[in-house]
Structure 1
Amino acid sequence: MDFTQLSLDLAALCRSTAQFIRQEAAVFDRAKVEHKGLHDLVSYVDQETERRLVTGLRQLLPEAGFITEEGTAGPDTHTEEFVWIIDPLDGTTNFVHGLPVYAISVALLHHNELVVGVVHEVNRDESFRAVRGGGAFCNDQPIHVTDVAELNSSLIATGFPYKDFGKMERYLQLLGAFMSRSHGVRRLGSAAVDLAYVAAGRFEAFFEFNLNSYDVAAGILLVREAGGQVTQFLQDGDPLFGREVVASNRLIHAEVQQTIGEFWQ
């Protein structure tokens, strides 16, 4: 299997599919939004984007299974040799409100290892691509995490809870700690974009909890292939299915985890 060529084919599929999202954004009607749960929005754009991706991916790799956000490929399948993990529109709330930060995120598992990942940021038309052992790229130019070695010289990204508020007090304390110990904290509204920006050296670190595999799969591979580190909050456990992620340039990772540990016990 030529994973480099597969990543290029995947990037081309995501780029063409992003054109559909941009076209719909120009005429989108918020009245067509549906609710999957509390503050959890979905639109026909998410669903149609996912259908287009699934159709294209089945042509690229017919034997692969799927883990998808909107379920258009049928029940999630974890047992195949190859499994695609798809978020057709990461940042749906931004899309619905006309805020131009959202992305397509697609990754491939091979025997439960991430081997290919693409995050396509729709409005900037930036294609972030990674292959296991082959590096990370933005629009085919190599990218790398920063060499900033201290938290107090870092820009940090995070995501805010939108449906599970049981840890809100601890999260706000943690947010305050990062605000006072860094160059600042940003909340863009798309975990896939946040992770891609860590890989590209635009953020030094990103943390968030209550995430799904399709939010982070491609981004995890991007950060790792760009020289960074990705773990769970307080340990090196599986960030793909572990529901919480810390990604960094590696140099400040211990300091970020130490800060989280002060409030997240």
Structure 2
Amino acid sequence: MNAYRTIAIRAANRAGDYIVKAFNDRDRIIAKMKDLNDFVTNVDQQAEWLIIDTIKASYPEHSILAEESGLKEGSDKDTIWVIDPLDGTRNFIDGNPHFAISIAVKQKGKTVAAVIFDPMRDEMFSASNGDGAQLNQTRIRVAAEKKLEKSILATGFPFRSSSNVEEYLNYFSALLPACSDMRRAGSAALDLAYVAAGRVNGFWEFGLSDWDTAAGTLIVKEAGGLVGDVKGNPFSSRAKSILAANPHVFKQFVQTVKNF
């Protein structure tokens, strides 16, 4: 197993144990609003510290980009760990057991290892560049469905700002009748992991950050899927949207929204 993936799994397990204990003891959770509809808790912050502490024990020279503490450059600026310690914080606050830890390792901008861990279900999605994707110890592949009309798509609403709502609704209005159904569960990291595992046929959203997508994009690609923006262009951390799907659904999705 890729050494970076091994450390990412170790870090995710350590943070996951803490998150599960906090989830089961609601009095330990202190939540505050970072921005409109954007929350953080003391559990996010402590989980992030546990992840960084685990990484630094093995790679003290590496750089860190984490959602809550930002960018901390090490002597090795070419290797960056991209961390979301608790993706789905609002679910966590409300007692909805659907959230995940997301950890990716980038070298010179290319993701080489990735982990998405659902601590409530004990599901560890992982990948390293060129070695395929796994759920725990089992190899996973994207779904084989060839038709968008028979596909279930996952999505996320642009809840942080009203600026993308009208554009999002245009896409939603075109896609809902074109597919079998749409799901909005509240964790982009798990949505991407579910695409990789074949549980949904595609995922699309606007306005995500690198820590939301860095791990999931590699896991989807290593599971045989495609990742781009909603117009089918190559995906980057600066993209304003994301589309991840099996190759057949990806192409039909892009065709459906080509005129927007």
Deviations 1:142-165 (A, max 9, x none): 000011111001110000111221
**Residue in 2 that maps onto 1:247:** 244
Distance in 1, Cα, partners of 2:130 & 2:187: 26
**Residue in 1 that maps onto 2:127:** 130
**Residue in 2 that maps onto 1:156:** 153
Larger mean Cα displacement after TM superposition, 4-13 or 41-50? 4-13
SS at match of 1:170: helix
Q: Is the 8 A contact 1:230 1:239 kept in 2?
A: no
C-alpha displacement at 1:233, in angstroms? Answer: 1.7
C-alpha displacement at 1:13, in angstroms? Answer: 2.3
**Residue in 2 that maps onto 1:202:** 199
C-alpha displacement at 1:58, in angstroms? Answer: 0.8
Change (3 A) 1:31 1:50: closer
SS at match of 2:247: coil
Distance in 2, Cα, partners of 1:238 & 1:148: 23
Counterpart check, 1:16 vs 2:34: no
Task: Name which of 25, 28, 38 aligns with 2:26.
Answer: 28
Q: Is the 8 A contact 1:15 1:125 kept in 2?
A: no
**Residue in 1 that maps onto 2:57:** 59
Counterpart check, 1:165 vs 2:162: yes
SS at match of 1:34: strand
After TM superposition, the structure 1 = structure 2 runs for residues 1-265 of structure 1, keeping only pairs within 5 Å, are: 4-29=2-27, 32-71=30-69, 75=72, 80-263=77-260
Q: Is the 8 A contact 1:89 1:105 kept in 2?
A: yes
Distance in 2, Cα, partners of 1:52 & 1:20: 9
Q: Is the 8 A contact 1:38 1:163 kept in 2?
A: yes
5+ residue gaps, structure 1, are none
Distance in 1, Cα, partners of 2:241 & 2:118: 22
Q: Is the 8 A contact 1:239 1:245 kept in 2?
A: no
C-alpha displacement at 1:257, in angstroms? Answer: 1.6
Q: Is the 8 A contact 1:100 1:123 kept in 2?
A: yes
Deviations 1:108-145 (A, max 9, x none): 00121100000001211100000000000001210000
Q: Is the 8 A contact 1:67 1:78 kept in 2?
A: no
Aligned Cα root-mean-square deviation (Å): 1.9
Identity of aligned residues (%): 35
Deviations 1:70-89 (A, max 9, x none): 017x5467971210000000
Distance in 1, Cα, partners of 2:88 & 2:12: 16
Distance in 2, Cα, partners of 1:30 & 1:13: 21
Amino acid at match of 1:105: S
TM score, norm. by length of structure 2: 0.94
Deviations 1:220-260 (A, max 9, x none): 00000000000112142333231311000112111112223
TM score, norm. by length of structure 1: 0.92
Change (3 A) 1:77 1:190: farther
5+ residue gaps, structure 2, are none
Change (3 A) 1:96 1:133: same
